[in-house]
């Protein structure tokens, strides 16, 4: 693979062009990571509003019609609905794992099965997220299984 980096002070935005004969799985993963890198979400905590990089988000959770965004140690409120996020994050490392949660598989440390057909994902910050059995198929597909 040939990697060309051109630095130009006049260039306002970062532009990435991928030239290939065919998109394979590795390339698709790379594109997903690039997409995640270039995507940030506006979130608020109290009066403070900030832009959170997608790669820093562990998961989104919807509680009482409010979407919360969980980072390693902070929780923010997000103005987007879960279905909107699901749509725009389809090609990234995020996957819907239950009716109320969209999870970033990049921050998962391990997963274990439960006795009721569900899975439990342990995140790298120690939090645990339940993967509902209706979403297991999509979850497995994220890992190419």
Q: Kindly list the residues in this chain that would bind another protein in the complex (CB under 8 A).
A: 55-56, 72, 99, 105-117, 119, 124, 132, 136, 140, 143-145
By beta-carbon proximity to another protein, the closer residue of 79 and 127 is: 127
- Min dist. Cβ of residue 75 to another protein (A): 15
By beta-carbon proximity to another protein, the closer residue of 86 and 106 is: 106
- Min dist. Cβ of residue 124 to another protein (A): 5
Q: Among residues 23, 79, 32, which one has the least CA distance to residue 54?
A: 32
Extended beta strands in 17-91, E state: 40-45, 48-53, 59-63, 66-70, 75-78
- Min dist. Cβ of residue 8 to another protein (A): 28
Q: Among residues 83, 74, 82, 44, which one has the least CA distance to residue 56?
A: 74
């Amino acid at each position: 693979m040939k990697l060309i980096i051109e630095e130009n002070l006049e260039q306002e935005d970062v532009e990435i062009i991928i030239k290939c004969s065919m998109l394979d799985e590795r390339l698709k993963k790379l594109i997903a990571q690039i997409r995640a890198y270039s995507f940030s979400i506006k979130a608020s905590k109290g009066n403070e509003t900030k832009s959170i990089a997608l790669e820093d988000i562990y998961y989104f959770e919807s509680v009482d019609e409010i979407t919360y965004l969980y980072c390693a140690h902070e929780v923010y409120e997000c103005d987007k609905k879960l279905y909107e996020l699901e749509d725009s994050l389809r090609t990234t490392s995020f996957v819907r794992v239950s009716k109320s949660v969209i999870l970033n598989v990049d921050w998962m440390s391990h997963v274990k099965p439960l006795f009721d057909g569900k899975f439990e994902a342990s995140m790298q910050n120690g939090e645990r997220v339940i993967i509902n059995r209706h979403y297991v198929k999509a979850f497995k597909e994220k890992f190419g299984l």
